[in-house]
Amino acid sequence: MVSAHNHEGASPRPPAGKVRFELLTLGDELLLGLTANGHLAFIGQQLGRRGALLQRNVTITDEADAIAAQFRESWARSDVVITTGGLGPTCDDRTREVIAEVLGRKLVFNPAIELAIAERFARFGRKMTANNLKQAYVFERGDVLENANGTAPGLWVEQEGKVLIMLPGPPNEMQPMFTEQVIPRLAARGLVRDREAYVQIRTAGVGESALETRLQPIFDRAGPGLSVAFCAHQGAVDCRVSSPGGALSATRLEEVAGECALLLGDDFICYGHDSLARVCAELLRAQEKKLAVVETATGGLLANAFSEVCGACKFFAGGVVCCSNDVKMQLLDVPECLLLQHGAVSNEAAVAMATGAAETLGADYALAVTGFAGAAATAGGGSQVGTIFVALFSPAGVWSKKLSYPGPRSTVRVRAVNAALDWLRRELLRAQRGGQMPVTRIGVMQ
Amino acid sequence: MVSAHNHEGASPRPPAGKVRFELLTLGDELLLGLTANGHLAFIGQQLGRRGALLQRNVTITDEADAIAAQFRESWARSDVVITTGGLGPTCDDRTREVIAEVLGRKLVFNPAIELAIAERFARFGRKMTANNLKQAYVFERGDVLENANGTAPGLWVEQEGKVLIMLPGPPNEMQPMFTEQVIPRLAARGLVRDREAYVQIRTAGVGESALETRLQPIFDRAGPGLSVAFCAHQGAVDCRVSSPGGALSATRLEEVAGECALLLGDDFICYGHDSLARVCAELLRAQEKKLAVVETATGGLLANAFSEVCGACKFFAGGVVCCSNDVKMQLLDVPECLLLQHGAVSNEAAVAMATGAAETLGADYALAVTGFAGAAATAGGGSQVGTIFVALFSPAGVWSKKLSYPGPRSTVRVRAVNAALDWLRRELLRAQRGGQMPVTRIGVMQ
């Protein structure tokens, strides 16, 4: 919702990409490590998608003098300053007043906000206290960013050709406000691009440098105006093509990305930022198939990967997290003699677990992950640490493979989950094409 | 491992608590939101435990000029500057060189580090490349912090009565280096306290203000030297007692905390920072009992809560994540007629799921969580969003209760997991005392 706004000081703006953005995250709870600073990652990513690089993020205490000094400095060297936090109703939330004073602006009472706050309290059956009215004070000649998920509205002020944006601290209030109100306003003023600044191709199965080598001929043909950036993360590599100078049109960038996708075949996951779980979900839904999972080393992470996908029940039959052989035998009909002969961490056990999960949970596809993720804190441990077996059950057969990851436990776990999901994705793509799995119906892939 | 060190400029140090700490986190990947800045939360918390408040965290691009300008500023206003990142082998890792120049110090080649890097490469069967040797350059008259989990050592430099600490970026390298090497060195120089600066009591079941009211008589008796801070997080409230002026001894603080714990009874979780899952794990282990979990709305989070507890297989039988009634019926013997009569989200279903999980997985205790966590992105949705049923099966009986949480999906999920774990903890405490559950053996708690 973009309400009316005021431009003060109509000085010429720098072109998007050269705009100096700075983020001030306020709060002792951040400096004391009581709350993680997720605002930097979110806002940095949102700006990055629109071709802007956040130049700096400063986290400081919410003490009034510190805020005033830091804001003065940030305002002097930036085109856009974004603050998060300090807009709450209590007496230690002084950010609004302190910054108004630095800018030499008045705060005025806004009855419409008071009404919205009162209505929100009434809806939840709570009583509004007097200190909540503090949140109804806004900058004179500033704009208000409505808050659908909380009481503190965001504030938008323009002065000296610069923009100040003050946002509430809770992520579920700040994030929709940023994407729905802040980004469109910034775009309307030419401070960020009015569309994604790059086309992103998400890939799996190819390392960063091998990917570059494979795609280089396409980049060469596209010409000198093309800029390419790679970013590897836990089993996937993103490739972003852009044209910072504007030599290549958006349509041309999409063509280049399309050529890359075609060349990569099944190593291409998707355009944009979808997760592997979401891509698998789409394929399962389109094919009207159901998935089951069973896991030991990943302890619920694989099942949880689908929790952010809407309507997971449509394609996700369920999951089993097992720690003991008893559970594998009892719930998944894994034969005891198999576990005794091959061990609980083996290709054979993984195959039996995947098969058992599919049958017991009535699913068409099943993933099993078992292995040694390592001790919680460090990368130390036995020689088998980082060894993971993943099995995939599909209507076409069941297979298992052994994987090995260096790194700490948390990395091994995420890599294992991503490897399992990527394998499922490839098998779903093949099923979609009506292709056949080579070799035998039950096998071990080396 | 604390190696020999050099003091330069023996100017008097400010007392711990007044020391100005600043953290510089370096890297475009942080500003672009490709990586979350977990260093702030970790280092802030570690310093906080030793009575030091991080004054500021600045995240900037790893461009050389920006690093030089920012470091100069941070160094001027601080007693201790900590940097993370930029110590890697590639050409864009220039932090070491840039900062050496600002301080006017020489970097010297350290053959022992070269040897350690070469050995590490050999151990993983990889070839060391020439650019890795960059990491063997250290400050002349500076100290080296050994890195057990990577190639880049940390660097410790003292100059002008100030301390510079440069740490590698990967969390699994930085974190043990910080707790094992940095904290003891800081304590040895009186820059942080040589023990925890406060005694923390972790509680559940009492709101922040009600907790304060209950404990106030104890605080009043302890006298004016006592400082108390509360911190609420997703179903638990921490209370920290300290004596910043030193009026109360550590022993006296422990006595005060002990009085609080005694007064709170089962609302007291633990001293320190243990998770609810870890506390439950200890109780289960001590009583030689096994736990099973079954969950719908929390999709694997409850099972995963135990994944960071070492040796979980000793007490954790396993978990089931179910999306469909079929799975509940098939795997957990939940009667179809019950689901049809009461609905899948009901006290009755939760009780049947907990019972089924305990029986099928062969566990003594079982937790079931079912409900409506809400849509992924916002707090919107149907009127039942935030309604959760938790059931607890124990040797003494099985019970269910209905809970309701406002807030976004992620909050509802975490609150539901914590509520389930806290209930289990209380039941385990009662079992330990040999107490009886009141009312009937199968019941619904309102």
Sequential DSSP letters for B291-330: EEEEESTTTTHHHHTTTTSTTGGGTEEEEEEE-SHHHHHH
* pLDDT, position A369: 96
* pLDDT, position B348: 93
* pLDDT, position B443: 56
A101-125 mean pLDDT: 87
Which of B40, B180, B330, B405 best tests the A interface by mutation, with the highest count of A CBs <10 A?
Answer: B40
Residues 6+ apart with CB under 8 A from A393: A351, A354, A355, A357, A358, A365, A366, A367, A368
Cα of B401 vs its chain's centroid, Å? 28
Alpha-carbon distance of B79 to B161, in angstroms, equals 8
Which of A20, A32, A285 best tests the B interface by mutation, with the highest count of B CBs <10 A?
Answer: A32
Residues 6+ apart with CB under 8 A from B104: none
DSSP symbols for B66-85: HHHHHHHHHHHH-SEEEEES
Region label for B112, one of left (φ > 0), alpha (ψ between -120 and 50) or beta (otherwise): alpha
Per the DSSP assignment, residues forming a β-bridge with A26 are A60
Alpha-carbon distance of B299 to A300, in angstroms, equals 8
Smallest CA–CA distance, residue B226 to chain A, in Å, is: 20
Q: State which of A92-101, A196-205, A343-352, B176-185 shows the largest mean pLDDT.
A: B176-185
pLDDT exceeds 80 at position B380: no
* pLDDT, position A446: 45
Q: What token pair was written down for A214?
A: 């494979």
pLDDT exceeds 50 at position B3: no
Q: What token pair was written down for A114?
A: 């008071």
Q: Say yes or no for a CB contact (<8 Å) between A172 and B378.
A: yes
B389-410 mean pLDDT: 92
Q: State which of A292-296, A377-381, B126-130 shows the largest mean pLDDT.
A: A292-296
Topology annotation, domain B276-445: Maf protein (3.90.950)
Q: What is the pLDDT of residues A394-415, one digit of tens each?
A: 999 999 999 998 878 888 999 9
* pLDDT, position B26: 92
Whose tokens are 């068409």? That residue is A364
Q: What is the pLDDT of residues A187-208, one digit of tens each?
A: 999 999 988 889 999 999 988 8
- Locate the chain B residue with the closest alpha carbon to A318: B322
* pLDDT, position A5: 36
Q: Rounded to 5 degrees, what are φ and ψ at B249? A: -75, 165
* pLDDT, position B120: 82
Alpha-carbon distance of B22 to A58, in angstroms, equals 11
Hey, which CATH number is domain B21-188, 3.40.640.10, 3.30.499.10, 3.20.20.80, 3.40.980.10? 3.40.980.10
Measured between beta carbons, which residues in chain B are less than 8 angstroms from residue A58? 56-59
Q: What token pair was written down for B175?
A: 């974190």
Whose tokens are 């802007």? That residue is A52
Q: What is the pLDDT of residues A299-311, one digit of tens each?
A: 999 999 987 787 8
Smallest CA–CA distance, residue B52 to chain A, in Å, is: 9
Alpha-carbon distance of B297 to B281, in angstroms, equals 23
pLDDT exceeds 70 at position B298: yes
* pLDDT, position B119: 85
- Pairing outcome for strands A291-295 and A365-371: parallel
Helix, coil or strand: residue B247? coil
Give all strands of the β-sheet with A198-204 in edge-to-edge order: A227-233, A236-242, A198-204, A268-271
Q: What is the pLDDT of residues B310-365, one digit of tens each?
A: 788 889 999 999 888 888 888 888 888 888 898 888 999 999 999 999 999 999 99
DSSP secondary structure code for residue B399 in this structure? E
A367-389 mean pLDDT: 72
Measured between beta carbons, which residues in chain A are less than 8 angstroms from residue B92? none
Confidence bin at B403 (pLDDT 50/70/90): very high
Alpha-carbon distance of A97 to A138, in angstroms, equals 10
B171-192 mean pLDDT: 95
Measured between beta carbons, which residues in chain A are less than 8 angstroms from residue B46? 33
H-type helices in B10-140, by residue range?
Answer: 28-31, 38-49, 64-77, 95-103, 111-123
- Please write down the HEC assignment for all residues of A173-226: HHHHHHHHHHHHHHHHCCCCCCCCCEEEEEEECCCHHHHHHHHHHHHHHHCCCC
Helix, coil or strand: residue A316? strand
Alpha-carbon distance of A352 to A358, in angstroms, equals 10
Alpha-carbon distance of B213 to A122, in angstroms, equals 27
Q: Where are the domains of chain A?
A: 21-188, 198-271, 276-445
pLDDT exceeds 90 at position A43: yes
Alpha-carbon distance of A334 to A146, in angstroms, equals 56
Smallest CA–CA distance, residue A398 to chain B, in Å, is: 22
pLDDT exceeds 70 at position B132: yes
Q: Rounded to 5 degrees, what are φ and ψ at B84? A: -130, 145
Per the DSSP assignment, residues forming a β-bridge with B56 are A60, B22
Alpha-carbon distance of B147 to B35, in angstroms, equals 22
A88-114 mean pLDDT: 86
Q: What token pair was written down for A225?
A: 């105006």
Q: State which of A88-102, A137-151, B415-429, B430-444 shows the largest mean pLDDT.
A: B415-429
* pLDDT, position A70: 95
- Output the pTM of the full model: 0.84
Measured between beta carbons, which residues in chain B are less than 8 angstroms from residue A46? 33
Q: State which of A65-69, A320-324, B86-90 shows the largest mean pLDDT.
A: A65-69
Whole-angstrom Cα Rg for chain A? 26
Q: What token pair was written down for A427?
A: 């098998």
Residues 6+ apart with CB under 8 A from B43: A33, B23, B54, B82, B84, B178
* pLDDT, position B444: 55
Q: Say yes or no for a CB contact (<8 Å) between B41 and A43.
A: no
Alpha-carbon distance of A250 to A248, in angstroms, equals 7
Q: Rounded to 5 degrees, what are φ and ψ at B414? A: -65, -40
* pLDDT, position B248: 92
pLDDT exceeds 50 at position B436: yes
A 10 A CB-CB count for A77 gives 11
Confidence bin at A13 (pLDDT 50/70/90): low
Hey, which CATH number is domain B198-271, 3.40.50.1220, 2.40.340.10, 3.40.50.300, 3.30.70.2860? 3.30.70.2860
Q: What is the pLDDT of residues B153-181, one digit of tens each?
A: 999 999 999 999 999 988 889 999 999 99
Confidence bin at A114 (pLDDT 50/70/90): confident
Residue of B31, B35, B48 lying closest to A53 (CB–CB): B31
Which of A31, A316, A359 best tests the B interface by mutation, with the highest count of B CBs <10 A?
Answer: A31
* pLDDT, position B5: 37
Q: Say yes or no for a CB contact (<8 Å) between B407 and A172.
A: yes
Helix, coil or strand: residue B29? helix
Question: What's the CA dihedral at A183, A188, A191, A195 to 10 degrees?
Answer: 60
Which of A61, A307, A383 best tests the B interface by mutation, with the highest count of B CBs <10 A?
Answer: A307
Smallest CA–CA distance, residue B439 to chain A, in Å, is: 32
For the ranges A118-132, B191-205, B316-330, which has the lowest average pLDDT?
A: A118-132
Smallest CA–CA distance, residue B260 to chain A, in Å, is: 22
Decide which of B157 and A232 is more confident. B157
Residues 6+ apart with CB under 8 A from B434: none
pLDDT exceeds 90 at position B417: yes
Average pLDDT value for chain A: 87
Cα–Cα distance list, B235 to A38, B150, B232, B267, B422 (Å) = 20, 37, 7, 11, 9
Cα–Cα distance list, B207 to B210, B233, B364, B401 (Å) = 5, 10, 31, 19
Alpha-carbon distance of A99 to A34, in angstroms, equals 25
For the ranges A118-132, B241-255, B390-404, which has the lowest average pLDDT?
A: A118-132
* pLDDT, position A445: 54
Measured between beta carbons, which residues in chain B are less than 8 angstroms from residue A38? 36
Decide which of B309 and B275 is more confident. B275
Q: What is the pLDDT of residues B10-44, one digit of tens each?
A: 344 555 568 999 999 998 889 988 888 899 999 99
Same fold, A21-188 and A198-271: no
A304-333 mean pLDDT: 86
Residue B231's closest CA among A130, A35, A81, A241?
A35
Q: Say yes or no for a CB contact (<8 Å) between A40 and B58.
A: no
A 10 A CB-CB count for A272 gives 12
